[in-house]
Structure 1
Amino acid sequence: MHMVEYGGVFVTTAWKIWSSQTDSQLVKDFDQLQYLTQDFKNILGSLEQDDPASSSTEALPDRNRDLLKLGAESRKICEEILGSLNKIGNSTETRAKKRKAIQTAFKLTWNKAYIAELQTKLDHVRSQLTLQLVHSLRSDAAKSQETQQEILGKIAQDTEHLTKRVDLALDFGLGTASVDFITQNLGGRRRWQVKESLKSAILGALYEPERDENAIQPTTFNVPSRRSQTLKEKVLSKLAYPDMLLREQSVVEAHHNTLHWIFQREKEQDRPWASFCQWLEESDKQLYWITGKAGSGKSTLMKFISQPPASGSPSTLPEGSDNQPRCAPFLRRWAGNQPLLIASFYFWAVGSPMQRSREGMLRTLLHELLKQAESEMIASVMPESWEALYLFDEDPRPYSDAMLQHMMSRALQFMSTSNKICIFIDGLDEFQGGHGDLLEFFRAALNVHRIKMCISSRPWQIFEDAFQNKPSLRLQDLTLPDVKAYVESTLHPDPAFALLRALEPSFADDLVDNIATKADGVFLWVCLVVASLQKGIKAGDRVSDLQRRLDQLPPELEALFERMLDGLDPEYLDHAMQYFQLMEASLSISPPNVMVFSYADEEDEAFAINFPVSPIDQRILENVRDMLKKRLNSRSMGLLEITEQLSTSTNVLVNASRCRVRYLHRTVLDYIASADVKERLRVRLNRVLHQRFDPHLRLCSAQLAFYKSSLAHNAHALDSNLDHVEELEFTKKALSSCLFHAAQVQGTGLPSMIRLIDALDAVYSKSLVRSHHQRALQLATASAHGINRVMSHLAYQKASSSRERLFRSLIIRHEVVEYIRAKTQPRRWPTPPANGTRKLFWLSKRVFARERDQDLARDVTALPDLDWQLYDAVMAVSPCLPMIQLLLEKGADTQYEYEFKNFSTEKGTLWEITLAAFMIVFHEEPQLDGARAQVVRLMVRHWAPINRGSITKALQIARSLRQMDKYRSKPFCAAIEHHLKMMKEEA
């Protein structure tokens, strides 16, 4: 491995000598080669000790023979390089020659083909070394626990960095211990860099989709039970996401004495729906569809079916089943002697993006299923993750939608053979995406696996077509008795209604019947109408007044919403419109908590800037919640409400974050979001707001204030030696949300936004003085760089050198383009002449300016502001094209050279690194409209050079990052060059 490390340095330096432009740089490069001479002598001496020719290898295992052969190949390469170094001469002789003579002599010994051939050999050794390490680690992991501890014990004896507590070393993984051992002779920063790149290479091999059939499988790993449980918790933690159970917990509980009919066994002729009990118990029917109008209570019914009864509630279930889902006793008749697994997911159109996505559904279902399974099942369902966790105690690869779908298929495949699985999915109509694709996924799962699935949705045509021959029920046809029960139990305890009932008993009874009939099964309509009637009853309305009120209320929900808002005072309607805009602006993140919403209701622009860095008091939280509840009722007429997620925490920050403002129902969002409704309300106000209301600016301010409070909670937890992981998550979310809303601000709100972000910068930088933020600093920065994990150290090096630069990196990652526009000065290039030599003059001056600063550019921390900001923008997981275009227009240079470590030292300009990233993406999916292709196109427009040298270097970087040879084919290279020329012509 050391040969590959130093060989890579040799190749990089050789290429630089070929293209060196200055005498001083050329001498430095030759000095670098001289320094390598002793390194290669040491490596050669070590390799000669393991010469396979000196002993018989027939009795050795195959993998040991392969390693010896690899050693022999490395020895030959080392001799070849050392021989060439001896030909060059010493540093004194080099300095006595002129640059041209030096280059000519070097090129006679090392032509381009020779260097490229050496690179190929190094790539091969690197690739084979990685495969051998992977095979060795897998083999060791499959051995007994005693043998694994013996292996770690031997490593511990020779590795000063590895703890002597072998049991603790096992917690960090065999892979971690092995990489420590392999790199122990490297020093300082280089050791850390090579460790990271070696670990990245091994993880890359573990993640390869085309797994060798003869390879040792993770299911055979001998994992201690305690460690196995720890790995399971890590997998579940990675699958989980914020507010994963919020929707299910916030669904309204079924009212007392309602919905029990779903588990009753009526005669078929008396039942206008397919028996749900029968479906649960029988094995020949897999899917059941619950449909109904908007607001008819589908989610409440799904929750009623799939959750245990509340304590003290009546039950029609068999005795002893109170602590299990209501459906479980019936499903057990289907399951027989096999274990029963139940999982559920609730799509939520007004929740966070994850709560209305396929990814959210897959994560939740996998989490619920694997939580109920044995730890070893994870090794079958997600072998790559299990392997990475066991060997390195981390699984850095993010889960894509395709990966999650594959994991779900494997979960159903392996778990359904020994378990019976029933899945409940609510609100298909609230899914944000292609419903056809989602239905096809369900159809495929049901065709392949013997599972049950209960699905609810509105009666849209696409669902009617998909489920027309399946057992089903239409909810509004079945809930008349439930509606009456709800109205009676709500009105009868009211003293004012009891008095009315005593005076007018027949009218009171008729009123209940009239409400139930007019509701037509829509529970949401019933709730709103009963609340309206209660106001009249409490106000002493006469019988005729109440009847008139009921008659005037429209039976459709949208018309009812319109009537409610029409009854508002114009000032309150103005305020209600602001509230609705705040909610709409929050849709891309998540519903705001009560503190954030209350802060966003402040009109003072300097509110958040002057807000103190102090914790939230429980009493303040309760006062804010109660006051906001009154405002929401009076301004929105109850169309917005506060919901509190179940929590046993005594942490005020946690409780504040789980107390959210949300729409009463998804139908409210649909109504308010309608362009016709917005226009009608604007006309009714008959004026423009006294000042422009920008909801994103208000929310940016609110999140800044909440961020300050969360920082204070973090500091308190740290000073008290308390676990503050949860506080850090809330702090990180507040910071991210503040920057998200800042990026959406436009027009006249921009000066205010810039002042808010300046204030955020000040408090953020001050918080970084505390050492406990350093790990968060590294994670925040590394997560912004997604091309390859081995490059994340470069981002950390740059960011950690300056708190100002770290904050600017976060600004770029969150795409706050206008802040960068205001805060970044353009580069002052020399003014070109007005004649036809303009372009040539401009480019030559730019090259001279670049050479002047090039030594600084070796250290990324010393890069000019424009250039490292462009690096940040380009290396983001999802590059922001407007940000990149802005920085290029301000003069950011694509030709600065960066250094990073993989197995060997790699150097390349940002243009070459960008081109390499495009090649990697293009090879996997040859499209020219993707983000990476657009970045390349922008750079081409700003004079990025299109030549064989750049393409060759980019190919070299691509191969190095992926440790693969697949980027060598001539057709692939020709295609890349062709597309680049087309981009240049377009520019």
Structure 2
Amino acid sequence: MKPLPAVGLASSTLQLSDFAIKILSKEHKLFQPTESETPENHVVLQDIANHFYRLISELDRNDLKKLTADPKRPKLSEAAEQLLKLSDEIKELTTPLIDSVLQAQARGSFGDPKWQTGREALLSVQKKKDISALKKKLKHVSVEVNTSLLLALRQYLEQSAETGLPVFSDDDAPHVHPRERWQNQAMDMIHENSWKPKNKKNVEEFSKLVETLIQSENEARFRSDLFAKLQFPAMNDRLQSVPEPFEGSYEWLLKSPSNGCQKQKENNFLDWLASTEGQNLYWITGKPGSGKSILMKYLLRNEQLFPSLEAWSGSSPGIIAGFFFWSSGTELHNSGCGLLRTLLYEALQDMIYGPLQKDPGVIQWLFADRSEQSLSYGGGMHDFTFADLRRAFELMMSDVSKKFFFLIDGLDEIEDFPTEVVELLRSSTKRDNVKICTSSRNSPAYQDAFENRPHVVLDDRMNNDIRAYTAHLFDEEERFAHIRNQESPDQTVESIVVGGLVKKACGVFLWATLSAEFLLQSISEADDLSTLYFHVEALPMDMEGLLTHIFQSLDRVDLEQAARLFRLVNAHGYPTLLGLSFANDLDTASGVKAEVRPLNESETSARLEQIVELVTVQCRNFLTVFEAGVDPTTESSDEEDLDQGKSARLRINYTHRAIRDFVQSARIGEQIRNATGNNKFNSDENWANASLWNLKTLHHDGDSKLPLWNHIAWCIEYALRLEEKDGKVRLTYLDEVGRAGITERKDLINLAAIDLPDGVTTESFLDLAVWLNLGGYVRIKAKDTDRKEIKHSLEYEKVVRKRLGRGGEDRWVGEQKKLKAAYASTTPELYQLLEYYAKAVAMRFATPKPHLDIPEHV
């Protein structure tokens, strides 16, 4: 049975009331953290304001509350009607508090003594008697809410007795919502104690029970916020980009050595995993491209490991988590913070929602200061530092009742805190309840740290896997059929091609795959065994030489196309495949001309097939396609679900770090720039066009809201980059962004999920331009825009900036550097110009017109 709507509405109402009473009370101290620096007054006050906004928004989204907007709503019970009325009253009482908090924030100055209570801050802008009066009103209304909730639950009990409706659900059932569990407990106590809403003492007893509901709701909100803060959107992208291991490869690692080599026996992976003798770190190393990441993907959650893990963990529950460093990815992919956020997130998900079903209070334990800040004033969601995360990670591992197994790939790709991370791994594996398998290149720093630990040098062991892979590849190729007819006992495809590639690869799997694919692309119907022999012999043995050999095989047309794609990927990171197809368009004005509609299936398929062909042939497999945004540890049994939205998840990046370094080297980079006309090619112009295409073709999945903000923000960012280069405002382009993102999608728009107050809507692109301080665009548009639209934009700017507060823009424009700079700039004369044009024409004659130069535009 789901929680009753009345319980949800009462809970939201009382959470808002309870928080307001805390802030108004001299007894409620603002929590001062012990493990990190105490936040400044203005930060605390902004957190308070943000929490008020959030609680009001949650109250407005309540199902019962939404019914009030429906003129045909069914008749509600007396208790429900009373709760709706009280929720409005609480909202009216608390909404002005936000203004008072922000006024106190504005009055404060740097270096002020830390306020000990919210009341102390409010006294700088309000009278003591007004604060006390408001607090008294809130307490009175809260009692009425408790009374109405008691009435609602009692009426449900009585109705259930008459009609036979179910009263309770199974408290022990998995994933029972805390509100449902509380509801069961409340109705049981109401029935057992015969509590009545007209009995003051009964209401007081019931109110104590309601306090536990509010506490559990606040704790659940903190857990949800903390998980959201640990997680980052691209968390699994590196794991997804690593190719699946070829069938049968790497199995040797999970078998006992067949010869009598004592060193191999000591380094046997499963023996190490099962051992309780204290050697708790295993190092996988090898040359670049030897297949370390593929092996780590093969090991992550591999069921063949479980018996050995269980032998080590004994009766203790085991937790498995993994992280893959990625220098070609986002900042978090190659940072110590990204590592610890991922390991903490995966481990805690496993503990709370996995088989362990551990008390979710473990999150409050690990992040005690943040939990107290959250409960005290709605804070605790500031950015993590490496030190914050390390404390929580070490505290988690201190729980010796559990065993932790972590797989960490690509240590050599870390860019911040490398020394601290290596030291953390070494100190962690001194614990008996922690095992870590890590991989890196065989550089001196990692040799010194790990050489005396159990380890495997991958390129020493890969020959058989390379042989199996290349043999399979050539067996599947139909064009080899006529060549196989030429085989003799002394000369076969196996001996000449496969054997030659295995020998030259020297255990480097990437070398073998690139060489094999290159040979397959190069072969023709006229080739014979002798030609194949010379092709293989011509391949350089070192990776740098091989990449140069493949790159130089490109003819002029292929080189020009490949160079365009390389420059586009270099400029973006790892874009979506569909986005790259838009960016590759030679007509960089095609996005402006395009319709505002999703692509149909055939259009999408045609674009994807074309760009995949270019990546495979013209780019010689230097780039690879993978599916991002999917949890690789879960599988769906519904094939349709797997296909839905897949095109939006397909991304592209360099096949390997060694290839990226080669393409971005000075020597090859110059050739690539020359092939694209050097300065004639402007990647920002191409990506501006692609961003508008993305915005216009955004698929609407039936939800009442459409998340357009990220696409709009990138359109603006690229327009600002182009404006910076030539001084010309992209007026036509930005107008089209407004049409595609706002004018034609008013019913669907969900800009930034800002939770704008009631009645405030995004009407036009000018609203965004004024809010974001796009000075050039605003100066051009102001003269010819209707004054009502200008007035709306000025009001919109005030409301949204107030709503976001200090630093709130980071969530919306943090990635877009030019947009962030525009937002932070101060141009009072621009607002004077807008105020001038917002006046009626007759009134303008009495006001001098501010002078601002009108920039060039295209």
Asked whether the two chains share a fold, i.e. TM above 0.5, the reply is yes
For the residue of structure 1 that corresponds to 2:298, the secondary structure is: helix
Asked if residue 820 in structure 1 is aligned to residue 761 in structure 2, the reply is: no
Q: Is the 1:273–1:472 contact (alpha carbons within 8 Å) kept by the matching residues of 2?
A: no
Q: Is the 1:826–1:890 contact (alpha carbons within 8 Å) kept by the matching residues of 2?
A: no
Q: CA deviation at 1:353?
A: 2.9
Give the Cα separation in 2 of the matches to 1:172 and 1:753. 54
Name the CA shift for 1:253/1:232 in 2 (closer, same or farther; >3 Å).
same
Asked if residue 491 in structure 1 is aligned to residue 474 in structure 2, the reply is: yes
Q: Is the 1:348–1:431 contact (alpha carbons within 8 Å) kept by the matching residues of 2?
A: yes
**What's the CA shift string for 1:619-657, capped at 9, x where partnerless?**
322222112111222321121232234685659873222
Which residue is 1:364 aligned to? 342
Q: Is the 2:336–2:418 contact (alpha carbons within 8 Å) kept by the matching residues of 1?
A: no
Question: Counterpart of 2:396 in structure 1: which amino acid?
Answer: A
Q: CA deviation at 1:5?
A: 7.5
**What's the CA shift string for 1:347-394, capped at 9, x where partnerless?**
122223332333322222112101111223223223456667889999
Give 1:404's match in structure 2, choosing from 368, 373, 389. 389
Name the CA shift for 1:331/1:127 in 2 (closer, same or farther; >3 Å).
farther
Q: CA deviation at 1:860?
A: 11
Asked if residue 808 in structure 1 is aligned to residue 769 in structure 2, the reply is: yes
Give the Cα separation in 2 of the matches to 1:484 and 1:593. 33
Give the Cα separation in 1 of the matches to 2:727 and 2:618. 29
Task: List aligned pairs for 1:303-702, cutoff 5 A.
Answer: 303-308=297-302, 324=303, 326-373=304-351, 374=358, 375-383=360-368, 397-413=382-398, 416-447=399-430, 450-505=433-488, 506-508=490-492, 509-511=494-496, 512-587=498-573, 591-645=574-628, 650=641, 654-682=645-673, 685=675, 688=677, 692-702=680-690
Name the CA shift for 1:458/1:164 in 2 (closer, same or farther; >3 Å).
farther
Q: Is the 1:649–1:655 contact (alpha carbons within 8 Å) kept by the matching residues of 2?
A: no
Asked if residue 269 in structure 1 is aligned to residue 256 in structure 2, the reply is: no
Give 2:711's match in structure 1, choosing from 731, 734, 742. 734
Q: Is the 1:172–1:391 contact (alpha carbons within 8 Å) kept by the matching residues of 2?
A: no
Name the CA shift for 1:750/1:279 in 2 (closer, same or farther; >3 Å).
farther
Q: Is the 2:23–2:117 contact (alpha carbons within 8 Å) kept by the matching residues of 1?
A: no
Which residue is 1:769 aligned to? 746
Q: CA deviation at 1:475?
A: 0.6
Aligned residues: 633
Which residue is 1:75 aligned to? none
Name the CA shift for 1:741/1:458 in 2 (closer, same or farther; >3 Å).
farther
Q: Is the 2:325–2:409 contact (alpha carbons within 8 Å) kept by the matching residues of 1?
A: yes
Give the Cα separation in 1 of the matches to 2:289 and 2:775. 46
Name the CA shift for 1:882/1:254 in 2 (closer, same or farther; >3 Å).
closer
For the residue of structure 2 that corresponds to 1:348, the secondary structure is: coil
Name the CA shift for 1:676/1:361 in 2 (closer, same or farther; >3 Å).
same
Q: CA deviation at 1:823?
A: 3.8
Give 2:233's match in structure 1, choosing from 224, 228, 242. 242
Q: Is the 2:746–2:763 contact (alpha carbons within 8 Å) kept by the matching residues of 1?
A: no
Give the Cα separation in 1 of the matches to 2:364 and 2:580. 44
For the residue of structure 2 that corresponds to 1:745, the secondary structure is: helix
For the residue of structure 2 that corresponds to 1:327, the secondary structure is: helix
Q: CA deviation at 1:617?
A: 2.3
For the residue of structure 1 that corresponds to 2:405, the secondary structure is: strand
Which residue is 2:697 aligned to? 709
Q: CA deviation at 1:468?
A: 2.7
Task: List aligned pairs for 1:16-415, cutoff 5 A.
Answer: 126=119, 154=143, 156-157=145-146, 171=179, 235-266=226-257, 267-269=260-262, 271=264, 274-283=267-276, 284-308=278-302, 324=303, 326-373=304-351, 374=358, 375-383=360-368, 397-413=382-398
Which residue is 2:189 aligned to? none
Question: Counterpart of 2:754 in structure 1: which amino acid?
Answer: Q
Q: CA deviation at 1:153?
A: 8.9
Name the CA shift for 1:751/1:122 in 2 (closer, same or farther; >3 Å).
closer
For the residue of structure 2 that corresponds to 1:285, the secondary structure is: coil
For the residue of structure 1 that corresponds to 2:415, the secondary structure is: coil
Q: CA deviation at 1:666?
A: 1.7
Name the CA shift for 1:253/1:123 in 2 (closer, same or farther; >3 Å).
closer
Q: CA deviation at 1:251?
A: 1.5
Give the Cα separation in 1 of the matches to 2:513 and 2:584. 28
For the residue of structure 1 that corresponds to 2:605, the secondary structure is: helix
Q: Is the 1:768–1:774 contact (alpha carbons within 8 Å) kept by the matching residues of 2?
A: no
Give the Cα separation in 2 of the matches to 1:733 and 1:233. 23
Q: CA deviation at 1:304?
A: 1.3
Q: Is the 2:719–2:729 contact (alpha carbons within 8 Å) kept by the matching residues of 1?
A: no
Give the Cα separation in 1 of the matches to 2:377 and 2:433. 36
Asked if residue 756 in structure 1 is aligned to residue 733 in structure 2, the reply is: yes
Normalising by structure 1, we get a TM-score of: 0.56
- Rg larger in structure: 1
For the residue of structure 1 that corresponds to 2:570, the secondary structure is: helix
Give the Cα separation in 2 of the matches to 1:387 and 1:123. 14
Percent identity reads: 22
**What's the CA shift string for 1:584-631, capped at 9, x where partnerless?**
1112xxx21122111111122321112222123233222221121112
Report which of the two has the higher share of helix. Answer: 1
Question: Counterpart of 1:627 in structure 2: which amino acid?
Answer: Q
Let me know the Cα RMSD of the aligned residues: 4.8
Asked if residue 778 in structure 1 is aligned to residue 769 in structure 2, the reply is: no
Q: Is the 1:297–1:523 contact (alpha carbons within 8 Å) kept by the matching residues of 2?
A: yes
For the residue of structure 2 that corresponds to 1:717, the secondary structure is: coil
Larger mean CA deviation between 464-473 and 480-489 belongs to: 464-473
For the residue of structure 1 that corresponds to 2:232, the secondary structure is: coil
**What's the CA shift string for 1:742-775, capped at 9, x where partnerless?**
44436666647453233212333325632x6468
Name the CA shift for 1:401/1:617 in 2 (closer, same or farther; >3 Å).
farther
Q: CA deviation at 1:332?
A: 1.3
Give the Cα separation in 1 of the matches to 2:309 and 2:797. 66
For the residue of structure 2 that corresponds to 1:363, the secondary structure is: helix
Q: Is the 1:156–1:164 contact (alpha carbons within 8 Å) kept by the matching residues of 2?
A: no
Give the Cα separation in 2 of the matches to 1:342 and 1:411. 13
For the residue of structure 1 that corresponds to 2:456, the secondary structure is: strand
**What's the CA shift string for 1:157-204, capped at 9, x where partnerless?**
4689x9956999985999xxxxxxxxxxxxxxxxxxxxxxxxxxxxxx
For the residue of structure 2 that corresponds to 1:887, the secondary structure is: coil
Name the CA shift for 1:246/1:777 in 2 (closer, same or farther; >3 Å).
closer
Give the Cα separation in 1 of the matches to 2:749 and 2:691. 19
Q: Is the 1:617–1:652 contact (alpha carbons within 8 Å) kept by the matching residues of 2?
A: no
Name the CA shift for 1:122/1:503 in 2 (closer, same or farther; >3 Å).
closer
Name the CA shift for 1:675/1:427 in 2 (closer, same or farther; >3 Å).
same
Question: Counterpart of 2:589 in structure 1: which amino acid?
Answer: A
Q: CA deviation at 1:128?
A: 11
Q: Is the 1:423–1:454 contact (alpha carbons within 8 Å) kept by the matching residues of 2?
A: yes
Name the CA shift for 1:268/1:768 in 2 (closer, same or farther; >3 Å).
same
